[in-house]
Amino acid sequence: MLVGLLITVSAYADRYQPVLPNAENTICDKYGWSEVEYLVRPYLSEVLYSALVMQGQSADYRASAAAEQALEKHMPENVKETLRLIIAANC
């Protein structure tokens, strides 16, 4: 729970950082599958969260795939923005 809160707070801080030329590498270094999981957990139903966890346990599951699956309408805009950056970078 604490880790999820820290990641959410980190996502708020990321929103105000300028986008740098190598932002793709930075976002991929910063957010792996487990970070995406903690970031979106408060906003997903139990069914969607369970599906995300199950897929995350499979081999070669990328953070961008988790971000695509988790992108929901009922999330704060800064969380959506972080997920879109992860998807665009194809982490």
Tokens linked to 56: 């995350």
Which residue blocks in the chain are alpha helix, DSSP H? 2-15, 23-30, 33-40, 46-56, 63-70, 77-89
Domain ranges across the chain: 2-89
Per-residue pLDDT of the chain (91 residues; tens, 9 = 90+): 433 433 443 444 444 344 444 555 688 889 888 888 899 999 988 888 888 888 878 767 788 888 888 887 789 999 999 999 999 998 8
Say what the pLDDT of residue 42 is: 92
Say what the pLDDT of residue 65 is: 86
Say what the pLDDT of residue 25 is: 62
Say what the pLDDT of residue 52 is: 85
